[in-house]
Structure 1
Amino acid sequence: MQIQPDWKQVYSAANPMEAELLVGLLQHQGIQAGVRSQGMVGGIGELPLDALHTPVLVEPDEFQRARELMLNYESKQNQIDEWRCAHCGEENGANFEVCWQCGHSKGEREVDSE
């Protein structure tokens, strides 16, 4: 998709992968969206992904609707709860179904060894 010069930035994604995910979300809602390359893609592997903030752009007449979707996306990201492994006590992000430290499942309960 060709990004036009009058398109507006609706979101600053943390990295190019998040930006493409959000473009897909917007397009699924019927909003024309795209990512303008900032010339730092060559830094992938050399720079931390956090240094690769990527603007998500939309047509001006779709800005308000797209912004509401981005605010909804942000609020859902902030609601993600961590969980503590019953086996080893390690904190895990909500997106983990298995403890990254010991491999026990999220719903597993600690079994007494008596």
Structure 2
Amino acid sequence: MIEIPLNSFVRRTKNHKTLKLIIQNSGAVIKRKGRSRNWLLHADWAHICEIINKVQLSEEPSWQWFVNELQKYKPELSINDLVEIITKSPFISVNQLMAQTDCTLAQARQALDIAQWQ
């Protein structure tokens, strides 16, 4: 689980209740940090990816800083992680893999080669 601080969450976002529903529906947990105006998001990377996709589809401009905060905590995926993603969805293309994981072209091709020849 990753813990992401969201300072002034309510003040920075319009329609923050809808954003909190998106977060909770993904399986992540968002809680207020004590009695302050700061919030904490507890999620794993799968939850974060789902949240980012849904928030970007909503196209709410005030939520963009939230997406930027989430992307700061994005873990670097190893080749084995990429191979695991490919085995879960074997018809994924290089471009789809790169878009989904932000890996480089060389990493995507290497992972596809490993997945195909295992």
Scaled to the shorter chain, the TM-score interval is 0.3 to 0.5
Which structure has the highest helix share of the two? 2
Q: TM-score, normalised by structure 2?
A: 0.33
Q: TM-score, normalised by structure 1?
A: 0.34
Q: Which has more radius of gyration?
A: 1
